[in-house]
């Protein structure tokens, strides 16, 4: 089961970024929100299949708007994957259900 709230840490080139991630599934559709020091952002139009998850978000940064593409896997209470941040490459993330 993917639904739940997770404390995650993203290992970015600017250091570790911690966030609270909430996931909700409806069939193969994934929605939720991510709460970070930059505020809370909601997403929809994500997908889930056999614990594999993916979703995208648009964030505003000092350098303008940027698309973040997340791909990961939920196994038990653990979540892990990577986030691709525009032209800045990919960063791994890990976390646990809280």
Q: Per-residue pLDDT tens, the chain, 98 aa: give them.
A: 899 999 999 998 888 999 999 999 999 999 999 998 878 999 989 999 989 999 999 887 677 788 899 999 999 999 999 999 888 889 999 999 99
* CA distance between the termini of the chain: 14
* Residue 31 backbone dihedrals phi, psi, to 5 degrees: -140, 170
Instruction: Please give the DSSP secondary-structure letter assigned to residue 89.
Output: -
Q: Which structural domain, as residue segments, surrounds residue 30?
A: 4-97
Distance CA 32, CA 47 (A): 11
Question: What CATH number did the domain enclosing 18 receive?
Answer: 2.40.128.120
* Residue 14 backbone dihedrals phi, psi, to 5 degrees: -95, 15
**Radius of gyration for the chain, computed over Cα atoms and rounded to the nearest angstrom:** 13
Total tally of structural domains belonging to the chain: 1
Question: Taking the model in full, what pTM does it have?
Answer: 0.91
Element (H, E) at 44: strand 39-49
């Amino acid at each position: 089961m993917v639904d739940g709230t997770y404390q995650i840490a993203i290992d970015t080139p600017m250091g570790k970024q911690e966030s609270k991630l909430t996931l909700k599934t409806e069939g193969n559709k994934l929605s939720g929100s991510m709460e970070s020091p930059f505020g809370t952002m909601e997403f929809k139009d994500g997908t889930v299949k056999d614990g594999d998850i993916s979703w995208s978000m648009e964030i505003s940064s000092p350098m303008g708007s940027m698309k973040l593409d997340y791909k990961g896997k939920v196994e038990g209470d653990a979540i892990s994957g990577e986030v691709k941040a525009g032209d800045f490459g990919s960063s791994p993330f890990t976390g646990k259900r809280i």
